[in-house]
Amino acid sequence: MEKSKLQSFINRYYLAGNCEAVVLKNNSNAVCCDLIDADQTVVGKIQWKTTPFMNGELGINHTGALIKMLSAVGENLNIDIQEASGKNYAMKISEGSTKATFMLADTTVIPGVPTINEEPEYQVSIDLNDEFTSKFIKAKNALPDANNFAVQVQDGQIKFIINYSTISSDNISFEITGGSFPMENIEPICFSADKLKEILVANKGDSGKMFISSDGLARIDFTGNDFESNYWLVQLQN
């Protein structure tokens, strides 16, 4: 197995430490997981299009520890899942003479992820291309303490505002060329700037699209050769 592919899969759900615990599932021709962050502002589904390296499910309770252990082995690694009494309890990782053992958690202790059964109508859609990704990450890095971004439709333009507030405050805004939006204006809708930044970083290089609903939900989809990622951001209150 290529370590870089496993790390890319982990990065897509871990989101720089926002989603520590997940259950990895064998989906016949893919490894999948659902995710939810600690403050429940983002949920998601990640699919790695590869031959599964396990039977059943794997409980990962401390992803940060797994990432550190992977840094100790080379690129071409072997993974052997240890099982007893019908349950997977350890992940044996080896590369050459280097060996590591990562203990798995009981899947029942991993927080459940709610299912979004009925999605609202999405009025706004934009392409998450390299230009958008660069603009957003630069703006967020310039305002590291900003916890939100707002999406607004005004006078026939889609505008992103990092660190939106109804009172005077530092902010950075930029307009989106193209995209799909209604003729009428949409008041600013706020979501987590930190979460969107980490989603963009983790999925860089894949084709992405973002959909925003005035009901307070944003959906973000990425598709690539090896991965499919779907995220839902919940509206933040100003």
The separation between the first and the last C-alpha atoms of the chain, rounded to the nearest angstrom, is: 45
State the fold for domain 3-109: DNA Polymerase III; Chain A, domain 2 (3.10.150)
Tell me what the mean pLDDT of segment 143-153 comes to: 97
pLDDT band, very low/low/confident/very high, at 177 (cuts 50, 70, 90): confident
Residue 156 burial class via C-beta count within 10 angstroms: exposed 0-12, middle 13-18, buried 19 and up:
exposed
Domain 124-234 has what CATH class? Answer: alpha beta
Residues of the chain with CATH 3.10.150.10: 3-109, 124-234
Q: Which residue has the tokens 């989106």?
A: 176
- pLDDT > 70 in the chain, percent: 100
Q: What is the pLDDT of residue 194?
A: 97
Q: What is the pLDDT of residue 174?
A: 97
Which whole number is the average pLDDT over 117-122? 92
What CA–CA distance (Å, rounded) separates 234 from 212?
Answer: 10
**pLDDT at site 116:** 85
